[in-house]
Amino acid sequence: MPELPEVETVRRGLAPFLEGTVIEKVELRRPDLRIPFPPRFARRLAGRKIESLSRRAKYLLAELDDGTVLIMHLGMSGSFRIEADAATAIPGAYYHARSERRAHDHVVFHLSSGAKVVFNDPRRFGLMDLAPCSDINGARHFRGLGVEPLGNAFDGAMLAKLFGGRSAPLKSALMDQRLIAGLGNIYVCEALWRAHLSP
């Protein structure tokens, strides 16, 4: 599953194509991914301008001009493809090639720039949802999520406070999304190996 660094890489690749553009139309090629799309999903996105693209934990957040946030998660196998000016690009570099089977193209965003951003997800563990920007931390995907490990508030003192009084294995504690959001198996294992700490 893509972890925080991969999701941030995808965000940086998508931002130049999404930020400041208007979603003219959304094609939904199925009624759901991991969860059903919200009611009137495509209609609610049509005509909306994307003000900014950010990340929270393993989620991409597109803030729209009507005060709504489009929440996107890559799941296990999801990826975005950009089709612009007769060229195709995948934001981010992947160790394993991403799916190019068009049968797995489930969502297509048609943008005012003329570009298309296509969400491809063979396993369909990804998701897309909508939530009000004013209560994004109260949205079901973010309630109870811990601190961002790359945020300014995260330091050794905070880590000590989060882990104080816990008796869980170190790896389990680091992967507990209620404590630290966005860390997964790969980066936790690598960090512990580098620090010469037993999981």
Query: Which residues belong to the active site?
Result: 2-3
DSSP string computed for 92-160: S--SSPPP--GGGEEEEEEETTS-EEEEE-SS---EEEEEEGGGGGGSTTTTT--B-TTSTT-SHHHHH
* CA gap 180, 161 in Å, rounded: 12
Task: Answer whether 90's CB lies under 8 Å from 96's CB.
Answer: no
* CA gap 61, 136 in Å, rounded: 10
